[in-house]
Structure 1
């Protein structure tokens, strides 16, 4: 039996989903490599997903994206078996065990839907005759909790999404963005480990959508849920996703981090998707940096430039200790990864390796020396100077 700590939150194993009566005939055509249109013409069956394999780790935001009809929502809805799987396995981590949702019994499926997997819909799905508090507590009501306990939990979640003062209002009294917040509160209230989010912000105005995206990322810092998120908006996918899976005609054509997909699209379809993206909003220092292993060493010092005028003294684990510029002592300051805010004026800047490229450019205006990029343990990972920034931008341009 697998170690409960190593069981991923969600795992799709060679999943095929077919809509129609001639499933077996359609599966044979899938195995023969036929396209969705060819399968439809031969069997009158619709290919929803073909040979989908994907792992979503605990605490990860994985975004499924692609054009309309690519299979994103079809795959999402297999996690709680709103869509039936024709072949393959959909493994969900439930109470520390790996459960195949596609084949489990009805009692186990109900328990998974009630306690482990919660869903946030695109069109809010609020019951108009219920108040905000009653809508948010629906899942807890189905779990059989008392009114007092439901209200305690719901009020906590409504406060989390900024709707405390609207608890006794009805859906028609709320804006679209506020209604979507009720949907989020309802999902959070069940304390489910896995959230399925099916284009939850697409029906909202751009400014409201951006605000809710920011709020979701902020909430994720504290709730640390596993989120499978469907979107057709590349900007949204790149902003939210730790991992992105791009789908085409029911198949996953590329999986990876945003910067990996941006710099190395696997197919012309993916390249078309990303060609208009601004790399400054996506690339991180780790994608363009000069790795520490390429730097020249002299004793306990690393040479940060070709002339050897800038030397970085490091400890035995390569953590920066001090810097020397032209034989004199220099100052070091630290910057954050997102905005590049410095804690103090300095000669040499230390920043996390996931420093945004946009922030790196802003920081380079404040120093004539390379930016030191460090890992989570403070060890030097590499350097980011003008050359690395230009190379990252040019590599992106060459991939178009």
Structure 2
């Protein structure tokens, strides 16, 4: 039985349905019967936005909701802060049912609990950058000196110190989106809602904003709900990804789950052109760290080695990973002096991989190695192993030719 403490979700979406039209409740039986979105529209004139959505969002994660146009992703994010009311279902934030908030409570909730970053920046052209960022605080009734101080702090955080008195029209698209992000952060809201926040930006600026969001998140640990239609973006920033199609939740999981185990043809179509070598890191595909030696004498090390199925092992001391040891060399040394300490044995040095290295960066080293590459963390601890075969298998769909070469090479070693 697990002793893990159960972590309660920050946000819970339970059996959420949304039907657009004059009499949505009258259409619900058809939705529950499983009629398609197109059939319901043709028969009733009502549009099904969301069907039986159940998901949890945890504190401090970047939760990405993605899908094509019409999938329901923007409809869903607008339920979090009740810009849209559901036809049926519950939205709980820290156990509070958002549907039960009265008008005043909902206003407070939107001002202090959740902040939104829009696709088209949503800046007020007649206010300068500083006033745009401080706007949420002015609505909350915060005094001017505090507003200015906080606005300037967040402008510095997003790389816009010195732009306080500029106006939106004087800024580039990327700079305007940074102002929008600073404005959302300035309210100290715990939850950020980002609806296609970077999709209007040029590719290079978009990439920079993605990097900045990930870096900021390491510092701030906000809870971020991020909407996108771009799987590369989702994989790059998301801790978990929910994929919607025609209002249905098709798959929910970590990026590696989505990429390596697509739930159906729809998800597979999304992932088939993704460069896995760039999207995946070593720790997502490494195998458990088997074959380790920790003995202090050569004889004891040989005994440990013979308990392994392999004829090699990785030698570890209190200082961490030391290198690789072959059984034949150990047998030879044991014949001379089995009682000799292991520090007198010549361990074969070996390059190591970092767990968070992109696969793209470690392909050459892994292909050249005679042994599975050790994955070692900053403390020198062996976290896992990555072989040529493992690498070939995970990259096979994207690099078919390389797979054949790697497998052929490994068989002829």
TM normalised by structure 1 equals 0.85
Distance 1:303 1:135, change over 3 A: farther
Is 1:158 matched with 2:155?
yes
Alignment correspondent of 1:82: 83
Determine which structure has the larger strand proportion and give its number.
Answer: 1
2:125 to 108, 125, 128: 128
CA contact (8 A) 1:302 1:312 kept: no
- Structure number with larger C-alpha Rg: 2
Match of residue 134, structure 2, among 127, 133, 137: 137
Q: Given that residues 199 and 230 in structure 1 are in contact (C-alpha distance below 8 angstroms), is that contact kept between their aligned partners in structure 2?
A: yes
Residues 196, 228 of structure 1: 8 Å contact kept: yes
Secondary structure at 2:375 match in 1? strand
Q: Work out whether 1:351 is the aligned partner of 2:354.
A: yes
Matches within 5 A, 1:317-328: 320=321, 323-324=324-325, 326-327=329-330, 328=345
Change (3 A) 1:176 1:396: closer
- State how far apart, in whole Å, the 1-side matches of 2:270 and 2:203 are: 20
1:104 aligns with 2:101: yes
Match of 1:196 in 2: 193
Q: How does 1:1-400 map to 2 (within 5 A)?
A: 6-93=7-94, 98-292=95-289, 295=291, 308=311, 310-314=312-316, 320=321, 323-324=324-325, 326-327=329-330, 328-330=345-347, 347-352=350-355, 354-364=356-366, 367-373=369-375, 380-394=382-396
Contact 1:10 1:90 in 2 (8 A): yes
Do 2:127 and 2:167's aligned partners in 1 also have CA atoms closer than 8 Å? yes
Supply the distance in 2 between the matched residues of 1:366 and 1:302 (Cα, whole angstroms). Answer: 24
User: Does the aligned pair in 1 maintain the 2:353–2:362 contact within 8 Å?
Assistant: no
Give how far 1:106 is off.
2.2
Which structure features the higher share of helix residues? 2
Instruction: Give, in whole Å, the separation in 1 of the partners of 2:74 and 2:305.
Output: 51
Question: Contact between 2:292 and 2:316, CA under 8 Å: does it hold in 1?
Answer: no
Any conservation in 1 of the 2:118–2:195 contact (CA below 8 Å)? yes
- C-alpha distance after superposition, 1:208-243 (max 9, x if no partner): 111111111111111111110000111111111111
Q: Which runs of 5+ in 2 are unaligned?
A: 1-5, 331-344, 401-413
For the 8 Å contact 1:63–1:241, the answer to whether it is kept is yes
Cα displacement string for residues 49-107 of structure 1 (whole angstroms, at most 9, x for unaligned residues): 110111111111111111101000100010010011111111113xxxx1121232223
Aligned-residue Cα RMSD (Å) equals 2.8
From the superposition, tell whether residues 237 and 350 of structure 1 become closer, same or farther in structure 2 (CA, over 3 Å).
closer
Contact 2:323 2:350 in 1 (8 A): no
Contact 1:78 1:102 in 2 (8 A): no
- What residue ranges of structure 1 are gaps of 5+ in the alignment? 332-345
- Against the structure 1 CA distance between its residues 76 and 377, is the aligned structure 2 distance closer, same or farther, given a 3 Å change threshold? farther
| Closer, same or farther: CA 365–48 of 1 in aligned 2, 3 Å | same
Please tell me whether the aligned partners of residues 39 and 46 of structure 1 are also in contact (alpha carbons under 8 angstroms): yes
Task: From the superposition, tell whether residues 282 and 303 of structure 1 become closer, same or farther in structure 2 (CA, over 3 Å).
Answer: farther
Q: Is the Cα–Cα contact under 8 Å of residues 75 and 84 in structure 2 kept in the other structure?
A: yes
Over 3 Å counting, the alpha-carbon distance change for 1:216 and 1:28 in structure 2 is same
Distance 1:100 1:242 in 2: 25
Query: CA 1:393–1:234 in 2, change beyond 3 Å: closer, same or farther?
Result: same
- How far 1:296 moved relative to its partner? 8.0
Counterparts of 1:40 and 1:376 in 2: how far apart (Å)? 57
CA contact under 8 A between 1:351 and 1:371: conserved in structure 2? no
TM-score normalised by structure 2 residue count: 0.83
* CA–CA separation in structure 1 for the residues paired with 2:366 and 2:64: 32
Secondary structure, aligned partner of 1:140:
helix
Counterpart-to-counterpart distance in 1, 2:66 and 2:305: 43
Give aligned pairs, total: 373
Say which SS state the counterpart of residue 110 (structure 1) adopts: helix
- 2: CA distance between counterparts of 1:280 and 1:220? 24
